[in-house]
Amino acid sequence: CQAAPVVQTVIVTATPLAVTPEAAPTQTPHIVVVTATPAPVTPTPDPGASIKLIGLERELILSIDQLKQLPVTEGYAGTKSSTGKITPPTVHTGVSLADLCEQVGGCDETTAITIVAKDGYGITFSHAQVYEGAFVTFDPATGDEVTREGPLTPIVVYEREGEPIPTDEDGPLRIGVVSSEPNQVTDGHWAVKWAREMQIKPAIVEWTLHLEGAIVEEMSRDTFESGAAPTCHESPWVDDEGRKWIGMPLYYLVGRVDDANKHEGGAFNDELVSVGYQVDVVAADGYRVTLDGARVSRNKEIIMAYLVDDEPLPDDQWPLRLVGDDLAKNEMVGAVAQVLLSGEAIVPVEAQAEATPTPTPEPVEAAAAPEMAAGVLHIYGKVATPIAYDAAALAQVGIETVAVEHLKKGAISVEGVRLNELLAACEPDGAATTLHLTAGDGYAIDMPLADLLACDDCMLEVSDEGYDLAMSGMDTGLWVKDVRLLEVK
């Protein structure tokens, strides 16, 4: 094993030379915090691997070599994903967003910074986050929220553990939130991969959306934005005046609180719909619209929007408005503050625990392998309900277009069904650990079941020729063509 690097916390103040396209001597980095008064940077005409800075006064493109001439900020960065997966802290090296601001005219309390990736994913950092490190932090060992320790600094990262970041992983530039010790991680949606652009905009006002059903969640502005990103659940709607509204389907929000499963595969519980419940969308002034759960179920024409024509909503509708083709005008409630679930199917998790003793799970008998057939995907093995999906069944689940990341080809769009939703419908045995994938030509490979259940963008691509696996961010060996059998083991 490689020895951990010896690091120290240092504050250095300097006035660097103006950056030019010619290479400059590499600076010796220290662990957070390095501050300076950088000089203007000369743009490079052919930046190659670069980031574009869009300020209020000027625009600039910086190559990696030019970034390395700016003050260095280095520290430990790690993440907690929306499914709870922890990526432990490692050493990240780069340039702070605050220092990059100075290159295009500076930032103050009236501005915010949006980072945009090459696949269109974007997230906005507040002034307090950029300059004060105001992030929620988690224990790397347990994932529990902890009190922030020491300064946190968001940076554009060009090296990880002293090495360049491979383009076919998440580089050559990405975002990291670094601290001086490896004792905390931040939410994964801040760690933008393949960062390509930094935009300085008017300041954002933070908000939360109260979600309440079997569990309660106070959804933050940044969590909503991350879920409504182009690479996640973004849904557009154009009104009769030609204005384009952007958000995510309401049922994704419902699925976060309809039961205890907040964001794993199959987060939206289809079984509860058949039992029955109501969804109340409530505005800040108390006005509410009540929708039947069956009407909301997997309906992509009922959208919770946060942007109109790429701008935050106007004051009378901010921060969220319910829109879509399946709503009447009087149902398009604005200034949404709460989404409340009620009815026979919605039982608070605490009440369930008190009413139902925890049973000892019985092992699920593994079913025999079914015969393979073109145009049919069998999910079987250690599952409560083996299911054979043909084209009609997949269409009923819901075909959608999703941007996925191929390690060699980069971001690509596929049309299909989310694999974790198909698996969740079969109810895998809690003791199952492996998923065995088999193609029509006999090719077979195993993968950890937990990895697939945690992958919200792993898709079963549907076409006239059959079904292919599009395993976003995973090894190309798992992108099985003409997949026909998924055995849970």
- Residue 238: per-residue pLDDT: 95
Neighbours of 145 (CB within 10 A): 12
What is the average per-residue pLDDT within 464-476?
A: 86
Tell me the one-letter amino acid at 479. W
- Of the ranges 48-52, 91-95, 310-314, the best mean pLDDT one: 91-95
pLDDT tens-place string over residues 360-399: 444 444 456 788 888 889 999 998 888 888 888 888 788 8
What is the average per-residue pLDDT within 12-36?
A: 43
Distance (Å, whole) CA 77 – CA 175? 10
Dihedral sign computed on CA atoms, order 284, 251, 82, 405: negative
What CA–CA distances, in Å, run from 160 to 166, 266, 284?
A: 10, 34, 44
8 A C-beta contact, residue 365 and residue 431: no
Sheet of 208-212, strand order? 216-220, 208-212, 336-342, 278-283, 288-292
What domains sit in the chain, N to C, each tagged with a CATH number? Answer: 12-202 (3.90.420.10), 208-352 (3.90.420.10), 377-488 (3.90.420.10)
pLDDT tens-place string over residues 128-141: 999 999 999 999 98
- Residue 263: per-residue pLDDT: 56
Distance (Å, whole) CA 198 – CA 113? 7
- Residue 12: per-residue pLDDT: 37
- Residue 31: per-residue pLDDT: 47
Residue 300 pLDDT > 70, yes or no? Answer: yes
- Residue 8: per-residue pLDDT: 37
8 A C-beta contact, residue 477 and residue 445: yes
DSSP state of 190: G
pLDDT tens-place string over residues 172-216: 999 999 999 999 999 998 999 999 999 998 887 889 999 999 999
Q: In the numeric block, which tokens belong to residue 372? A: 């393979």
Helix (H) or strand (E) holding 451: helix 449-453
What is the average per-residue pLDDT within 90-118?
A: 93
Give the pTM: 0.52
